[in-house]
Structure 1
Amino acid sequence: MLLLAVDTATPAVTVALHDGESVVAESNQVDARRHGELLLPSVDKVLAEAGVTLEAVTGVVVGVGPGPYTGLRVGLVTASTFAAVLGVPVHGLCTLDGLAYAAGIEGPFIVATDARRKEVYWARYEDPRTRVGEPAVDRPADIAEQVAGLPAVGQGALLYPEVFTDARNPEHQSAAAMASLAAERLAAGLEFLPPTPLYLRRPDAQVPKNYKVVTPQ
């Protein structure tokens, strides 16, 4: 087994290779505006570090979000393209699940990432592998009672310490953690999400209303 994991649903451009036993190479860069520019060189870097070619990959793991439209689709399109070219399966994982697994907190806790517009994408977890309910997007103040007193990880938690009063690392997503979680799930025969984006809201870019229609003369 050789899993290639990628995630671009957060400001992190993160890539890792997992051989079924452990992570053999990884790359992590944080730049919310350069997902498309950084992802493929990151893939090349981890392949070179592991001393393998892309053809050795037996499965692709991709973070499906939630995340902003532009960054999220970079990873999803790349993962789906690799899978199609190689003829291997592509396994979707919730990005928040990867952060929860990396956190390794036992007992109830929160994962929250930055959703911009003064909102967070968030979910509650009972342990690193068990999410309670579906991810949501909210203003931190609106969920203050639900998260009160609970440990919280992710950039969203660190941005709003007045709500997430026990904010902790990791701040950003790790493809290494996501690959390790995927390897566990594959070994256990568990299902994955389809490689489709989990947006939770409309994209920031919108078609202008009441725009002037110009027709040829």
Structure 2
Amino acid sequence: MNILAIDTAGRTAAVAVMRDDTLLYECNTNTGLTHSETVIPMVDAALKACGLRCKDIDLFGVTAGPGSFTGLRIGLSAVKGMAFVGDVPCAGVSTLEALAFGMSGEGTVVGALDARRGQVYWAGFDLATHERLTPDAAAPVDSLEKFVADCKKPLIFVGDGAGLCYNRFGNTDGVLDCPVPLRVLRGAGVALAARRMWENGLAVPPAQLLPEYHRLSQAERERAEREARTHSDV
């Protein structure tokens, strides 16, 4: 099985090609360019390096959320455009699960993304099996305290929200530091998470590939706050 995986959910972008258990190609960028500028050239370079074309791909994997609303739409649109031609199955994977699949070892890994306003998108996973321990959630960093205290150790944090978590829990017994360059989301993690979804019968036709935002956009939140203030003044 040939899997093409894409991540555009956060600050970095990633592309990987995996054939069965072999990682054929992987590339991560953090150049400050927009994902709309980088992702298609990255995909083109990946396919050329592997001697493949879109028609050779059996499964497309892409981070579907949480993450930047614009970034998610770029990745999902790119995958849909490539998959529609041959109606190739697609796996919209959790960004947090893809982060976990990029790591290995014993203990627990928490995928964390900066959700602003002192919050993180987060979920916990067993580091050895990548089995999910919690659902994806958006919550204040302090709300992870019970999970951090109770989970199997050692514990590491990955993702662009890892720094916020280490600031709060870095001195907790059993919490190990993960070097900043290794906290990024890997394309291989997206590919592995996509393959698990396919094995579990969760891959979908491209038309059914949808984002999982997990919260309202900033504009929607601000509108809701204005409406709430208006109603309270009535």
Structure 1 partner of 2:195: 183
Map of 2:166 onto structure 1? 161
In 1, Cα distance between equivalents of 2:67 and 2:48:
29
Residues 157 and 166, structure 2, Cα contact 8 Å, conserved in 1: no
SS at structure 2 position matched to 1:18: strand
Q: Give, as a single letter, the amino acid of the residue that structure 2 aligns with 1:139.
A: P
Q: Tell which deviates more after alignment, 110-119 or 131-140.
A: 110-119
- Unaligned runs of at least 5 residues, structure 1: 211-217
In the alignment, residue 137 of structure 1 is paired with which amino acid? A
Maintained 8 Å contact 1:152/1:164: no
In structure 1, how many angstroms separate the alpha carbons of the residues matched to 2:196 and 2:216?
33
How do residues 33-182 of structure 1 correspond to structure 2 at under 5 angstroms? 34-127=34-127, 128-148=129-149, 150-165=155-170, 166=175, 167-169=177-179, 170-182=182-194
- Give the number of equivalent residue pairs: 208
Provide structure 2 residue ranges, at least 5 long, that are not aligned to the other structure.
228-234
The aligned counterpart of 1:200 is 214
Whether the 8 Å contact between 2:120 and 2:161 is mirrored in structure 1 is: yes
In structure 1, how many angstroms separate the alpha carbons of the residues matched to 2:64 and 2:3? 16
Please say if residues 158 and 168 of structure 1, whose CA atoms lie closer than 8 Å, have aligned partners that are also in contact.
no
> Conserved in 2, the CA contact under 8 Å of 1:154 and 1:168?
no
Q: State the Cα distance separating 1:184 from its structure 2 match.
A: 5.0
SS in 2 for 1:196: coil
Q: CA deviation at 1:33?
A: 5.8
One-letter amino acid of the counterpart of residue 143, structure 2: D
State the shift of 1:87 in Å. Answer: 2.1
CA deviations 1:98-146 (Å, max 9, x no partner) are 1111111322332212223332110111334211231011121233343
Instruction: Report if the CA contact (8 A) 2:90-2:203 is conserved.
Output: no
Partner secondary structure for residue 125 of structure 2 = strand
CA contact under 8 A between 2:110 and 2:122: conserved in structure 1? yes
Q: Secondary structure at the match of 1:131?
A: coil
How far is 1:162 from its partner? 2.4
After the TM superposition, which of the residue ranges 12-21 and 120-129 deviates more from structure 2?
A: 120-129
The structure richer in helix per residue is 2
Q: Kindly indicate whether the alpha-carbon contact (under 8 Å) linking 1:17 and 1:24 is maintained by their aligned counterparts in 2.
A: yes
CA distance in 1 between partners of 2:194 and 2:40 (Å): 21
After alignment, is 154-163 or 87-96 more displaced?
154-163
Q: 1:31, CA displacement in angstroms?
A: 4.8
Q: Which amino acid aligns with 1:203?
A: S
- Classify 1:178/1:204 alpha carbon distance in 2 versus 1 (closer, same or farther; 3 Å): same
Aligned-residue identity in percent: 31
Q: Distance in 1 between matches of 2:197 and 2:47?
A: 23
Q: One-letter code of the match for 1:28?
A: N
Q: Pick closer, same or farther for the CA change 1:3–1:109 going to 2, 3 Å.
A: closer
State the one-letter code of the partner of 2:213: Y
Q: Are the counterparts in 2 of residues 96 and 123 from structure 1 also a CA contact under 8 Å?
A: yes
Q: Distance in 2 between matches of 1:178 and 1:70?
A: 19
The normalised TM-score by structure 1 is 0.84
Cα 1:193–1:135 change in 2 (3 A) is farther
Structure 2 distance, partners of 1:193, 1:123, is: 21
- Alignment RMSD: 2.4
4+ residue runs over 4 A deviation: 206-210
